[in-house]
Structure 1
Amino acid sequence: MKKIIFTLFLASSLLVNAQDDKGTFSLSGSVDVYHTSNLKSGSPGSVGILYGGSAVPNAFGLGMANTIFAYEKGKAGVVADLAFGPRANAANAYEGAINQLYAYYKPSEKITLTLGQFNTWYGYEVISPAGNFNYSVSYLFNAGPFSHTGFKLDYAASEDLSFMFAVTNPHGLTSGANPSNDYQLGFQTGYKGQYFNLAYGSDGFGFTDVLYLDYTGGFDLSDSFFLGINAAYANSSDADAGYQGVALYLQNTFSDSFSLGFRPEFFTATSGAGDTNVSAFTLSGNIALTSALTIIPELRYDSSDDLIIPGFPTETSMTGATLAAVYSF
């Protein structure tokens, strides 16, 4: 109840300020729910519905409610992105209450300075299902990072070329506290929709030399067919472990109301003790009932001879069927 009262108070205060000071106020967000079931008898849950684990077994489930308040006046602005529900809890150490909370300042048209907690620049998929084509998430997304708390500078050199530099707490620490006094450095460069991402430093889980490298991009191969790509590599000498993998996002738009996408993914968890592998193949439809409501029927097959499917440590394969509804506003 306290969270609801706080949310209503914040919305009303921002709206009053927007009206009095002639700034710009916006409200957006999403809500998602689903039903999932396995096509393998006796196995609970479905892979990839919640980050790092499995969803409720063969039942209806809740994703998250995401509400984003944004206010801008002149060269400065603030964003309060609140998220509630199991999906938000799985991705955020604040138990889902705060997904993002930051202030920004634009000293020029090309430069933006941001301070606070913001979602990662790293990777292809995002926390909110409204920003993804597939409803379940990839192994590369699960490997993180999810969010960062700190400072970043974005520089738009031109319409095609951009750079980002960041200094943040270890990404495993999203509560604002940093008792280790260790930090993480971030970099991104983008050119015509293709992005190279880097993060290096402490991960917040006891290791101080973790390197994350990532390529995220995509190409329109025709008027209706899109190919997205995510390739990533991570390693820590301290941990003697890391990961590497690649996921493709093949999506075809058949009409204004129906698209079909296929995501093949190959992921390897690397270690001095030996590598382990898993592959996942996800077929998803996007059915737009209205401009705001999308229905996502999805079939997913995961396979690992090394028994590393999250939530299913004794299974070499898992097949799940999910029907999700995502409403964006």
Structure 2
Amino acid sequence: MKKFTITNIRKIFLLGICFAAGNNLQAQETEETKVESFMSNFSISGSVDTYFRTNFNGLNKYEYNEAGDIIAGPQAPASSFANDPGFAIGMANVILGYEGEKVGFVADLVFGPRGEDAVFASGAPSNIVNQLYAYWNVSDAVTLTLGNFNTFLGYEVISPAANFNYSTSYMFSYGPFSHTGIKADFTIDDNWSAMLAIMNPTDWTEFNPYGKYSFGGQLGYSNTNGSAYLNLLYGEQMPISDEATFQIDLTTGWDFTDAFYLGLNTTYNTTDGAGFYGAALYPQFQTSDSFAIGLRAEYFKELEDGGPVYGTDAEAIDFTLTGNYTVGNLTIKPELRLDKVSNTPSPVFIDSDLDGTDNLSSFVLAAVYAF
């Protein structure tokens, strides 16, 4: 009787071990399934860019007087990015993303001079966050996004991998870069969309130190040949002013043939009578599978009560001719640019003889690797 009891105890003990092992194996398989499910929806992308820049009729180095004081230095158009002389670096951009059935997130990190310029008003000089947001697909027609996201206004963007031209326009440079807030995107039908947003003051992306907010809106139309977006921004933007900024912006682009594309951006921005307006055309020709050439022809006008670039009532014209030669994931971008600025009290550029001039011609050779 004693022997029978011990045998049964052993069986029960062995069954308990097997049951525990099975549970552990099932838990391990469940965890592995969760990891596999997460990784299948997780992505890493981004870009790396670098460039060479030189002026044809302007300074490319510092000039000193006999006392050793700097009297002039390298010049560039008063637009964002790609303004350093000689061989220079842009940025490394790493984008981490998760796209689930209902929810997801984007963490967009930037390193380097271009990235630092993009997050200039973040509140921390060493900030590397370009975008950081989470979203919820409430339904097939509504998506809510909360966090820091790049602006919905304008034709160009911060990432050089998504722009045809390497240097940027005046309208892009002095319109918003990024916003932090909450937005709701609406899919109206197969062609029409809309967006509404409540945001911090423009480019104050890390937090809101002023208790002021702005409102954004967008109406979009798209089909297989292109798209058009009408964008609105209204609200108190700057801590030094109680006046609200109003900006209206139209961005559109269409494939007229398999080889010819034409984009258009026009914008108007005003804060108590100060601001700017402008328009730019972006014709682009695909000459082969690996090469395309495109032009940005921009007119930029500052308002009579003041402007953010060259001053009251100044006018700028920018012609930028850019080639895109693609080898795998690498795009080589040779670029010729001519800027002409008028209606200023004195010339804004200095030529190689240290004389004032109203125009600047330059060349950029950029390399952009996207992954």
Q: Which residue number corresponds to residue 145 of structure 1?
A: 176
TM-score by length of 2: 0.78
Q: Distance in 2 between matches of 1:325 and 1:283?
A: 16
Unaligned runs of 5+ in 2: 1-31, 61-73, 307-311, 351-355
Residue 315 of structure 1 and its aligned partner are, at CA, apart by 4.0
Distance 1:149 1:16, change over 3 A: farther
Tell me if the contact between 2:278 and 2:300 (Cα under 8 Å) persists in the aligned partners: yes
Instruction: Please state if 1:171 is matched with 2:202.
Output: yes
Q: Which residue identity does 1:38 align to in structure 2?
A: N
Aligned with residue 221 of structure 1, among 249, 253, 256: 256
Q: Which residue number corresponds to residue 209 of structure 1?
A: 244
Q: Which residue identity does 1:254 align to in structure 2?
A: T
Q: Which residue number corresponds to residue 9 of structure 1?
A: none
Q: Which residue number corresponds to residue 283 of structure 1?
A: 321
Q: How does 1:83-122 map to 2 (within 5 A)?
A: 83-93=110-120, 94=122, 95=126, 97-122=128-153
Count of equivalent residues? 308
Residue deviations 1:250-276, cap 9 Å, x none? 100011100000111000011326511
Once structures 1 and 2 are overlaid, which stretch shifts more, 316-325 or 265-274? Answer: 265-274
Q: Which residue number corresponds to residue 30 of structure 1?
A: 47
Greater C-alpha radius of gyration: 2
Q: Which residue identity does 2:106 align to in structure 1?
A: V
Unaligned runs of 5+ in 1: 1-14
TM-score by length of 1: 0.88
Aligned with 2:140: secondary structure? coil
More helix by share: 2
Distance 1:266 1:22, change over 3 A: closer
Q: Distance in 1 between matches of 2:150 and 2:277?
A: 21
Give the superposed CA RMSD. Answer: 2.3
Q: Which residue number corresponds to residue 253 of structure 1?
A: 286
Residue deviations 1:17-50, cap 9 Å, x none? 7436565100100000000000014351433674
Aligned with residue 154 of structure 1, among 169, 185, 197: 185
Q: Distance in 2 between matches of 1:169 and 1:155?
A: 21
Distance 1:161 1:316, change over 3 A: same
Q: Distance in 1 between matches of 2:346 and 2:104?
A: 42
Aligned with 1:141: secondary structure? helix
Residue deviations 1:139-181, cap 9 Å, x none? 00011200000000000111210000000000131221x2221
Aligned with residue 229 of structure 2, among 170, 177, 195: 195
Q: Distance in 2 between matches of 1:16 and 1:318?
A: 59
Distance 1:182 1:310, change over 3 A: farther
Q: Which residue identity does 2:321 align to in structure 1?
A: L
Residue 96 of structure 1 and its aligned partner are, at CA, apart by 5.1
Q: Which residue identity does 1:293 align to in structure 2?
A: L
Q: Which residue number corresponds to residue 184 of structure 1?
A: 214
Tell me if the contact between 2:262 and 2:282 (Cα under 8 Å) persists in the aligned partners: yes
